[in-house]
Structure 1
C-alpha cells in the first residue's frame, strides 16, 4: 500500500480483514500527515503494527518489479529496501482532474478551481463545486483544498440554492474526517496543533484518555481525545480522537462547537445524553474539556506526550501512582496512604506523576500541593498513551507477573540475570530471507546482547534483551514483517525439513508447512490448549525433523504399485538392490515388498528396467502422540496413507480440536492419546464429529492456564 492517508489505511484495514498481509509505506515522516499531530499518528502507527500491518514511514517508493513477461507484480524497490509483494495499491494522494480547463481563463491554484463563497469562479455565469474546488478553512479563512464527499455535497447544495436565486454562501471547511483502522477508529476536525500555531494562535492542548461509556457496562472501552484551543480566548480550535467505538460522536460535538465559535467554558455544563450503554455520567468530551480548563486555570500542571517524547522529563523523578506498581524503576506512591510528606521525595524536587490514565496523578498533585510540594507535573495520557521508561544503571528483578506476560510474547527469562530475556523470532519453518537475517542481526545489536541462537523448533532467539527493550524490539521487528512468539499452551510454530529441495524429498514440505503455519499457528493463535502442540512436516521417511516425535507429524510417502507381470526374476533385482531397509526381496523368482516393513520412501520407483515399480501413489502418513523431552514417546501412524492434502489438513485440525476438547489441562497430547486409546483417537480423527462440534469447542472456557512452562 503506497500512501498512509485515509484511503490507504482504509484499504489496508479491508485487505487485512480478508487475511491478506499488508505493508503500508509513506514518504512522510508519519501516517495521516497533516491530518493528525505526530504523537497521535505515532500511537496509531504502533497500533497498526501490533495488529500485524507493517508500516514504513519516511519511505520512498522507487521502482516496481515485474514477474516474468505477464506484467504481474513481483515486488517494489523502496528507500528502505526491496519489498516482495503480489499486489500494489497506489493511494498516495489525488489531484483535481482539471487539465481541460488550463486555457479556459478560469482562475486556478495548483490544479484546483478558485471560487468565492457562492461557488462562483472569476468568469461570469461559471460556477464550480466539489473535489475540483479550492475553498477556505472556516477557522483561518485561508485557502484549503478538502476533497471529501461530505464537503462536496454541502458545496453542491449551496451552489444549487444560489443558482435558484437564494442568497446563500458556503462558509468553508473544517477538515472533518474519520477512518476505520483494525480495532481502532480515528476522527478529527478543526486545526491540528501545528496548523493552529502556524495560523498565529497561542496554542494550548490537552490529551485525555477516558472511558467511552460506563466502565462496568459490557463492551466498555476508551477514547483518547486531544483538544486544541487558544490560550488567551479559550476558543476551541480542533480535536483528534481515537477509540474502538463511536469517535464520530466526539468529533461531531466539536464540529458544532467550532461552527458556533465556542470557547471551552461553553461545554462545561453541556447536558449531553447519558445512560450506561451510551456514555459516562460526565460526557467523555466534557471530561477532556475539564482537563484543558484546569490546565488553563492552573489547577493542574501537566506535561504533554509530545513534550515527554521530546525529552522534557529529563531530570524529573518518575512517581508511579497507579493502583499497583506498574513502572519499573519509578518511585511508587500509594495514593490512599498519602497524608503528609512522602519520605524520600523533596518538596522542591522535580516530580513527574504518572498513573494509568491521568486522574490519580491529578489527585496526587493536589495532595502534594497541600503538603508543600512545589514542582510536580502530571503526565497527560499517562501509561495508557505513553511508553514510560525510567533510566537507571541498576538491574532490577522483573516481577513474576511481568515474566509471565512477556513469556506469552515469546520472551523467556535468562536465568543468569535479573532483567534480561531471550526473544524468539518466528521463521517460516526455518526459512528466512537475507534481508530478514540482516534485520534480526541489527535488532540483536540494538536491543539485545548481539548474539542470536537457533532453537530446535527452527526459530531464531535474540539473546540478552533487557526488559525495557522488549517492546521496542517487537516494534522494530514488526516493521520488517517479522513476528515474535512461539511459547505457551497452544499450537507452536511448524517445522519442516527441506524436502522441497532435497533429493529424497517426496512432497513440497515448505508449501505444506507454511499452509499449516498460517491455518493453525496463526489461525488458532487464541485457542487455549491443555499444553503445547507441536507439528512437524518431513519430506520422506528419513525422518530428519523427527515428525514421529512431535504431537502430530506428517511424512511424505511414495507407495509403489508392483506389476508382477513385468517381473522377469532377474538374478540381481534392481528393486531389491535399491531398497534401503530390505523390504523388497525376491521370493520364488518374483519380487515381493513386505508392507509391514516398507516405509514408502520411494527409492525403488522406476529402478526396474522392465517397469515393475513404474507406478506409484504419492501421499502423506500422519503420526500422532509423539513427544521428546523428559519423557519420550514415539508417535503411531494412522492406518491410512492420505493422498489428498486437504484431508491431511483436516486431520491436523481435528487433532487440535480433540486435544482441546478431551485433553486434561496440563497433559501432553501423547498422554491424551494413551489415556483415550489410539484406536479411539484414530476413529475420531477419521470421522466428522470433531469438526461438527468445532464452534462449541472453541467457545468453551477451557485450559485458561495450560501446562506449558516455556
Structure 2
C-alpha cells in the first residue's frame, strides 16, 4: 500500500506513524512545505513569554529522527500544487530546486493544516507585525521584542491564541491591549456573561481589552508605531495578529474535491468525496458529536485523534471518528478557562429546550492553603436532562471539570448519572462533594423546582426589574438592599410582604439558597436566588439617597472612588491619565462617562489625575466598565504606590530627560506591577525633567530629576573678561577664578544651561543623568526630600533604586507612617546605604510574600 500524506505537524505525522505500526510493509511518504515536520504549535505563545526557552524545545521531531523512529519517509521543502484524483497523482513544487515533481499514491491523506489570516488592514506589512502559527513566527516575535525594547503591544483578536499571546507579552513586561471586532472575547467559545467575567479578570491583571472595536490601520513608517481603531489610536511597538486561520487548501480548487469555505468535509472514516482521498486535522470539516452537524474544530488534540483513527481505518480496522465537542482550555493571567460541548446560544440554535445553571464553588477544601474557586456554567436539555455543555473559569484546574463533562457527554449521560460519581477527594485536590457534582445538584434542584433562580445572563438582561433585593450575606454587603440575618430568620420578616418579589443575593449563592428555602416555609411565594451571587454579578440597587455603609465606602475607595461627604451616596471617581496625557478619543470617553454616570463635571487633581464628579454608588460599576472598554483605568487611592506624576520633560525648553517615557515605565512597573502590594502608607513618585522642579519631586516620597553635568576643559578656557558660562548660570555658581572658569560641583544643580555656551568650547561636553530624592512630603506635615549622593547615569539603576525604596518601605516601615517618617527614623545614611546595596532586591520575594498585616494609613 502506497500512502502519500500532504502535511505533517499533528494529523499527518500521527497518521503516518500509526500506519507504519499497523503495517510495516506500507510505503508511507510525507510531503511538507517547511523544514519542520512536527512542532508544538500550542506552545508558541509560551516561547514568546520565555517559559519555553529554546526553539529545540518546540520541535517534536526532526525529519531524520521521525523517519528513524517510524519508518515513514519525509520530504521537506515540497509544496503540493495540484491533485489529479483520476490518475492518483499529486504534483508538488520542490522549493529548493524550483522543479515540479509528481507523486503517485494508492491512498492520499490531506493534512495541510491552516495558516493565520492577516486581515486587509492598511500597514500590516510593516516591521513589527507578527502572526503566531509556526516556530519561526514565535522566534521572530521574541527576537523583535528583545532587539527593539518594545513597551506597547496590540493583539488583534481575542480568541485562545490571541489571549495566550497577550498573557505572554504581559509576562515580558509589555503594556498590552487586545482588540476584537466581536462584542466579546472568545466569541463562539464562551457565552456572553462568562466572557464578560473573564474580560474583567484580564483587565484587573493589566491587559487592556477593547471589544466591538476594529483595527482600521497599522501606523508607522516601515516600522509599526501605533494602531488606529474606531475608539482612537493606540501606541504599539509590536502588533500580533490573531484574527483567525484559513485552511491550506487553495491548491485543491478544480480538483473535484468538495470543499466548504476551504475546509474539506469528511465522513466518520475521514473519507472525502473522492475515492481513496482522505483529510484530517485543521483542514478537515468533521461533525459535532452532539448534533451531528458539520463543525470545523482546528485543535491539536482532535488533529492527533483524527490522524490515528484514519490510520487504523486505512489498515483494515473498523474504526470511526465520532466527531468533536469543541473542547478547549486556555491559561490566562490569574485565570484559566475551559469549555466543551454547546454554548447556551448554540444549544438553543440547535433546537434544544435549554436550561442552565451557574455556580461559584471552592475548587478544593476551603481551608487548604492554595484553595481558590470555580465559576461553572452547565448547559442541559430540559426534556431529557442530558448534559450539553460546560464552561468553567477559575485560577486552578478547570481542565478536570471539563474532562468530567467530556466523558459524560460522550457517553450520553443525564444529570442524574453524575449524582454519586465516586470522584477523587482529598483537601489538596477537591472538595468532599466534587465541584462538578455540586454544579449538577444546583441544576437538578432548579429542574425539580427546589430552587427558583435567575441566571447572570437573565439578570444582565433586566429580568430582575421590579424585584426587591434581599442581602443574605453574613454582614450587609449590597448597598441599598434589605439586609436579613439568615441565622436569626425564624418567621416572617418585618417589612417584607409575603407577596413581594424578592431577589435574594449573597457572596457566592449558598446562603441565598438557604434563605429562599426558609422564606418559602414562612409563606413567601415569589423569591429568586441570583446564581453566581455578588462574586460573579455586579449587583446594583436603585436606592437614590440611601446612605452607603462604611465598609462599602472603604471598598470602593480602593477602586478609586472617594465619597463626597456632602451626600449620602455620591462619589468622585479617579481616572488614571498617564500624567494628564490622553488621546482625543479617551478625553471624549471621559466626558461622555461624566455625562452618563456622574454629574457631568470633571476636575483635575494636583497629580494630573481626572476625577469624574457626583457618581451615584449604583453607577460605580457601570462607569468602570464603560471606561475599561475605552481602555481607561480607575484607581490611584489607598496605601499603595500611587500613579506617577511628571512635568512636560523634553517638550519644555529646559527639559533634560523624556519624563513621559520614564514615568510611563515607572507607572507600568510599580503602579501596575505593585498594585496588590500593601504599604504602610501611600507612596508618591514624581519625575522632573530638570532641576527647576516644577512638579516638586523633592516633595514626594521619591522624586527623580533629570541632570546634565557639565564637563569643563580648562585648556580651552580663554579667561574672557565677560564669561558666557558665568553669565548663563541661573544660580550663579559658575565663576571665574584665577583666570579660569570654575563650577563648584557641590553647589551646581546640573541644569545644563551652560553646556555649549562657551564660544571656545570649554564647556561643550556633558554627562546626562538622574538625581533621586527620597523622603519628601506635602500636606499636613511638609518634609523636603534629600537627594542621594550619587548622580545616576543608568536608567535601569534608577528603576532598581525606586523598587528598593518601595521594598524598604514595606519591609521596615510602620503602619500609618509616611516614607519620610521611615527615613527619619532609620536615618538617611542607613537608608541610602540600603538603596545602593543589592540586599533589598535579593530578598524581594520573601518581602512581598510576608504577611505584614498592615492596615495602611492613606485616607485619600
Partner of 1:704: 854
Q: Secondary structure at the match of 1:488?
A: coil
CA–CA distance in structure 1, aligned partners of residues 264 and 711 of structure 2: 78
Farther off after superposition, 559-568 or 82-91: 559-568
CA distance in 2, matches of 1:75, 1:9: 20
Is residue 213 of structure 2 the alignment partner of residue 59 of structure 1? yes
Distance 2:267 2:593 in 1: 55
Equivalent positions of 1:73-112 (< 5 A) are: 73-112=224-263
* C-alpha spacing 1:144/1:559, structure 2 compared with 1 (3 Å): closer
TM-score using structure 1 length:
0.94
Larger mean CA deviation between 418-427 and 521-530 belongs to 521-530
Report SS of the residue matched to 2:277.
Answer: coil
Tell me, yes or no, if the aligned pair for 2:688 and 2:696 is still in contact at 8 Å. yes
Contact 1:49–1:475 (CA under 8 A) maintained in structure 2: no
Counterpart-to-counterpart distance in 1, 2:710 and 2:817:
39
Distance 1:527 1:117, change over 3 A: closer
- 2:639–2:682 contact (8 Å) kept in structure 1: yes
The match for 1:221 is 372
Residue 372 and residue 104 in structure 1: after superposition, are their counterparts in 2 closer, same or farther (change >3 A)? same
- Whole-Å separation in 1 of the counterparts to 2:833 and 2:194: 55
Deviation at 1:589, TM superposition (A): 4.2
Question: What are the Cα deviations for residues 490-543 of structure 1, in whole angstroms up to 9, with x where unaligned?
Answer: 322222222312112223322332233333333333333332222222222222
* Partner residue of 1:201 out of 337, 352, 361: 352
Change in Cα spacing, 1:92 to 1:563, as seen in structure 2 (3 Å) is closer
* Distance in 2 separating the partners of 1:81 and 1:597: 47
Superposed counterparts of 1:436-447, under 5 Å: 436-447=586-597
Answering whether residue 783 of structure 2 is matched by residue 599 of structure 1, we say no
2:457 corresponds to which of 306, 313, 327: 306
Question: Among 528, 531, 537, which residue is 2:678 paired with?
Answer: 528
Whether the aligned pair in 2 keeps the contact of 1:49 and 1:479 (CA below 8 Å) is: no
Deviates more, 1:696-705 or 1:209-218: 696-705
Instruction: Give the secondary structure class of the aligned counterpart of 1:140.
Output: coil
Write the distance in 1 (CA, Å) between the matches of 2:424 and 2:745. Answer: 77
Is 1:4 the counterpart of 2:158? The answer is: yes
SS of the aligned residue for 2:241 comes to coil
Deviation at 1:603, TM superposition (A): 2.5
Give the gaps of 5 or more residues in structure 2: 1-154
* Residue equivalent to 1:40: 194
**1:626 and 1:632 in contact (8 A); partners too:** yes
TM superposition shift of 1:93: 1.7
**Would the alpha carbon gap of residues 129 and 653 (structure 1) be closer, same or farther in structure 2, given more than 3 Å must change?**
closer
Secondary structure at the residue paired with 2:239? coil
CA contact (8 A) 1:444 1:450 kept: yes
Indicate how the Cα distance of structure 1 residues 425 and 131 shifts in structure 2: closer, same or farther if over 3 A, else same.
same
User: Contact 1:209–1:381 (CA<8 Å) still a contact in 2?
Assistant: yes
Classify 1:199/1:526 alpha carbon distance in 2 versus 1 (closer, same or farther; 3 Å): closer
CA distance in 1, matches of 2:357, 2:537: 14
Once the two structures are TM-superposed, the CA of residue 613 in structure 1 deviates from its matched residue by: 2.5
Question: Residue 340 of structure 2 is aligned with which of 184, 189, 193?
Answer: 189
Partner residue of 1:26? 180
User: What is the CA–CA distance in structure 1 between the aligned matches of 2:698 and 2:362, rounded to whole Å?
Assistant: 51
Per the TM alignment, residue 703 of structure 1 is displaced from its structure 2 partner at its CA by: 6.2
The residue aligned with 1:291 is 442
Equivalent in the alignment of 1:155: 306
Alignment of 1:211-610 (within 5 A): 211-392=362-543, 394-610=544-760
**In the superposition, relative to structure 1, how do residues 597 and 134 fare at CA in structure 2: closer, same or farther (>3 Å)?**
closer
CA contact (8 A) 2:638 2:856 kept: yes
Q: Distance in 1 between matches of 2:343 and 2:655?
A: 60
Q: Distance in 1 between matches of 2:265 and 2:788?
A: 76
Q: Would the aligned equivalents of 2:231 and 2:585 in 1 still touch at CA under 8 Å?
A: no
CA distance in 2, matches of 1:323, 1:4: 38
Structure 2 CA distance for partners of 1:423 and 1:123, relative to 1, 3 Å: same
- Per-residue CA shift, 1:115-171, capped at 9, x if unaligned? 222222222222222222222112212212222222222222221111111122222
Q: Give 1:313 deviation, angstroms.
A: 1.0
Moved more, 290-299 or 519-528: 519-528
* Contact 1:24-1:54 within 8 A present in 2 as well: yes
| Contact 1:421 1:466 (C-alpha < 8 Å) held by counterparts | yes
Structure 1 residues 100 and 331: CA distance shift in structure 2, 3 A = same
Rounded to whole Å, the distance in 2 between the matches of 1:384 and 1:696 is 30
SS state at 2:282 partner? coil
Deviation sequence 1:461-513 (CA, Å, 0-9, x none): 22222222222222222223322222222322222222312112223322332
Alignment check: 8 A CA contact 1:530 1:703 kept: no
Deviation string, structure 1 residues 86-140 (Cα, Å, up to 9, x no partner): 2222222222211222222222222222222222222222222222222211221
CA–CA distance in 1 between the matches of 2:617 and 2:314?
67
Is the Cα–Cα contact under 8 Å of residues 232 and 583 in structure 2 kept in the other structure? no
- CA-to-aligned-CA distance 1:162-181 (integer Å, 9 cap, x gap): 11111222222222211222
Map of 1:178 onto structure 2: 329
Q: Does the Cα contact within 8 Å between 2:401 and 2:436 map onto a contact in 1?
A: yes
- Give 1:596 deviation, angstroms: 4.7
Q: Structure 1 residues 96, 325: CA separation in 2 closer, same or farther (over 3 Å shift)?
A: same
Secondary structure of 1:391's aligned partner: coil
Asked whether 1:14 is paired with 2:14, we answer no
Q: How many residues align?
A: 706
Look up the SS of the partner of 1:432 in the other structure: coil
Residues 580-619 of structure 1, C-alpha deviations (whole Å, 9 max, x = no match): 2222334454444344543232232232323333333333
Residue 447 and residue 610 in structure 1: after superposition, are their counterparts in 2 closer, same or farther (change >3 A)? same
Partner of 1:681: 831
Against the structure 1 CA distance between its residues 305 and 673, is the aligned structure 2 distance closer, same or farther, given a 3 Å change threshold? Answer: closer
Q: Which moved more, 1:560-569 or 1:3-12?
A: 560-569
Q: Deviations over 1:636-675 (max 9, x none)?
A: 2333333333333333333333333333332222223333
Give the secondary structure class of the aligned counterpart of 1:336: helix
Distance (whole Å) between structure 1 residues aligned to residue 186 and residue 713 of structure 2: 69
Matches of 1:373 and 1:45 in 2, distance apart? 37
Query: 2:258 touches 2:272 (CA, 8 Å); kept in 1?
Result: yes
Distance 2:280 2:762 in 1: 81
State the distance in 1 between where 2:414 and 2:357 align: 15
Q: Check 1:346–1:142 CA distance in 2 against 1; reply closer, same or farther (3 A cut).
A: same
**Structure 2 Cα separation of the partners of residues 259 and 689 of structure 1:** 56
Structure 1 residue ranges without an equivalent (≥5) = none
C-alpha separation in 1, matches of 2:361 and 2:764: 72
Separation of aligned partners in 1, 2:458 and 2:766:
71
C-alpha distance in 1, partners of 2:252/2:408? 38
What is the deviation of 1:382? 1.7
Q: Secondary structure at the match of 2:755?
A: coil
